[in-house]
């Protein structure tokens, strides 16, 4: 019976293009290409408001929900336990739960739950807690298959806000932006056993997630560490090149993920670092432009459509603006001051913006002007975690609640 259930889940997972199985979605680029949000040319109808399907109390954490095969995974903290709950994505009914003790304490008095978002792949769930525990669970049953205490094994520093990386499953490897000592700045583990496969660099960990892409037929794993961009061969850990990109400020972090379009890589960070566009040719990177006045992402990663980037500019705590910039030049096309912090997801030719206030905004993804098509409050503030979008449903969590809304 367990074999049949696992087979069905794996079959469903590989067949569903509308799943959201990892941070920033299927391709880690913030783009949803599934069904269920086919709005008209002029956007949702007047008075549009997403319908709440279900909601559930959750514990602490900035970890985002992920969805695959009709199931949702949420990673959160209850008292001194790091908890992984598996729910039916359509009803919120529990399927299984797994937990382990955690002793993470936030030095700044913020949330003490997990920051990294789980990844669903290979019939398994991979989580990375703020205290540095990497674990693998069976997706069908929740059974723990293996764990690695990375702080104990590699001496990874706590950093400002604990361990934050959302695991990247690339083939049969789990890749982490780790910040370990003695050449373990980034690391790869066997996805089936947890065995360490390789380590590379002495970089401190950034808060950006790694991505894996194919450029000119060559597979690349790109890490934006605290020091800058690192391009490695995901199979061997061989470092192809490193591109320094960080602020001189000791308090700085790199948090937004690299964005890859063809052989171009866009990087963005706050704290006076700014944005840059690189051209990748084999094992070399050529800088095409850089600017701190174009699109400086603090935490949220921008999205790309038809030659233009859409994202948040400026420090989160100072009141960010929302911008559109031309990829090839960095030229600002429009700027919406005082929009406030949040996240941006692209679905078709629409921007789906979830603001920290709990409001969702639907806007045109157009370089001509910022035009809001619809807006509706979903959950009370404060929303810091990324949403998940799967099968026409939007999953949003704030500091206390996880809720599911229909966008159909």
pLDDT tens column, 318-348:
889 999 999 999 999 999 998 999 999 999 9
What CA–CA distances, in Å, run from 57 to 60, 355, 390? Answer: 10, 20, 20
The residue ranges of every structural domain in the chain are: 2-406
Q: Which of 155-159, 373-377, 396-400 has the lowest mean pLDDT?
A: 155-159
* Count of helices and strands (H, E) across the chain: 2, 33
Q: pLDDT grade, residue 407 (50/70/90)?
A: confident
> What is the pLDDT, as a whole number, of residue 48?
81
pLDDT at 386: 97
Give the pLDDT mean for 40-53.
77
Residue 14 pLDDT level (bands cut at 50, 70, 90): very low
Q: How far apart are CA 408 and CA 406, in angstroms?
A: 6
Give the torsion sign (CA, 46, 47, 52, 57).
positive
Encoded tokens for 258: 């690299």
Assign 111 a pLDDT band (cuts: 50, 70, 90): very high
Number of residues that this document lists for the chain: 408
Q: What is the mean pLDDT of the segment spanning 136-157? A: 96
- Residue 321: in which H helix or E strand, if any? strand 321-326
Q: Average pLDDT, whole number, for the chain?
A: 92
Q: What is the mean pLDDT of residues 287-310?
A: 96
pTM: 0.94
Q: What is the mean pLDDT of residues 198-220?
A: 95
DSSP-derived letter for residue 316 is G
Check pLDDT > 50 for residue 50.
yes
The DSSP-derived string for 43-99 is BSPTT--PEEEEEEE--B--PPPEEETTEEEEEEEETTEEEEEEEETTT--EEEEEE
pLDDT band at 8 (very low <50, low <70, confident <90, very high): very low
Residue 40, helix vs strand vs coil:
strand
Overall average pLDDT of the 215-225 stretch: 96
| pLDDT given for residue 74 in this prediction | 98
**Rg of the chain on CA atoms, in Å:** 20
pLDDT of 41 over the 90 cut:
no
pLDDT confidence band for 9 (50 / 70 / 90): very low
pLDDT of residue 42: 63
- pLDDT value of position 2: 40
pLDDT at 40: 55
Average of per-residue pLDDT across 286-293: 96
pLDDT bucket at 248, cuts 50 / 70 / 90: confident
Cis peptide before 382 (omega within 30 of 0): yes
Average pLDDT score over residue span 45-65: 92
Q: Read off the pLDDT of each residue in 374-393 and give the average, rounded to a whole number.
A: 95
As a whole-number percent, the residues of the chain with pLDDT over 70 amount to: 94
> 63-73 pLDDT, tens per residue?
999 999 999 99
For the chain, first and last CA: distance in Å?
35
Question: Average pLDDT in the 170-190 region?
Answer: 96
- pLDDT band at residue 264 using 50, 70 and 90 as cut-offs: very high
- The stretch 25-46 carries a mean pLDDT of 79
For residue 205, give the nearest of 231, 232, 187 by alpha carbon: 187
Confidence check: pLDDT of 226 > 70: yes
Pairing label, strands 342-347, 31-32: parallel
Mean pLDDT throughout 84-95?
Answer: 98
CATH topology of domain 2-406: Methylamine Dehydrogenase; Chain H (2.130.10)
Average pLDDT over residues 112-122: 97
pLDDT at 15: 36
Residue 49's pLDDT band, with cuts at 50, 70 and 90, is confident
Say if residue 7's pLDDT is above 60: no
Rounded alpha-carbon distances, angstroms, from residue 280 to 199, 235, 243: 23, 19, 11
pLDDT at 103: 95
């Amino acid at each position: 019976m367990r074999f049949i259930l696992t087979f069905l889940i794996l079959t469903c997972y590989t067949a569903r293009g509308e799943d959201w199985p990892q941070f920033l979605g299927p391709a880690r680029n913030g783009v949803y290409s599934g069904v269920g949000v086919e709005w008209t040319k002029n956007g949702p109808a007047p008075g549009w408001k997403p319908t709440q399907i279900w909601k559930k109390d959750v514990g602490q954490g900035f970890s985002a929900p992920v969805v695959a095969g009709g199931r949702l995974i949420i990673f959160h903290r209850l008292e001194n336990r790091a908890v992984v709950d598996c729910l039916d994505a359509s009803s919120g009914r529990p399927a299984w739960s797994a937990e382990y003790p955690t002793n993470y304490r936030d030095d700044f008095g913020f949330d003490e739950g997990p920051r990294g978002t789980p990844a669903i792949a290979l019939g398994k769930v991979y989580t990375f807690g703020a205290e540095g525990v990497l674990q693998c669970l069976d997706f069908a049953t929740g059974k723990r298959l293996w764990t690695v205490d990375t702080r104990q094994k590699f001496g990874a520093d706590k950093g400002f806000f604990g361990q934050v990386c959302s695991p990247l499953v690339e083939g049969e490897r789990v890749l982490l932006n780790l910040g370990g000592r003695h050449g373990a700045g980034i690391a790869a583990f066997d996805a089936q056993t947890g065995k360490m496969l390789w380590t590379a660099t002495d970089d401190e960990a950034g808060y950006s997630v790694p991505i894996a892409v194919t450029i000119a037929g060559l597979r690349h794993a790109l890490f934006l560490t605290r020091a800058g961009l690192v391009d490695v061969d995901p199979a061997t850990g061989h470092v192809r090149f490193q591109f320094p990109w960080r602020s001189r400020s000791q308090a700085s972090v790199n948090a937004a993920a690299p964005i890859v379009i063809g052989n171009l890589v866009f990087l963005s960070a706050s704290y006076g670092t700014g944005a840059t566009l690189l051209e990748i040719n084999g094992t070399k990177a050529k800088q095409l432009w850089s600017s701190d006045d174009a699109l400086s992402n603090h935490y949220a990663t921008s999205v790309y459509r038809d030659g233009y980037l859409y994202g948040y500019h400026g420090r989160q705590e100072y009141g960010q603006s929302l911008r559109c910039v031309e990829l090839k030049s960095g030229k600002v096309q429009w700027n919406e001051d005082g929009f406030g912090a949040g996240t941006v997801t692209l679905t078709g030719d629409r921007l789906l913006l979830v603001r920290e206030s709990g409001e969702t905004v639907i806007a045109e993804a157009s370089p001509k002007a910022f035009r809001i098509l619809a807006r509706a409050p979903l959950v009370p503030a404060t929303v810091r975690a990324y949403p998940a979008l799967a099968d026409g449903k939007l999953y949003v969590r704030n500091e206390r609640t996880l809720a599911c809304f229909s966008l159909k």
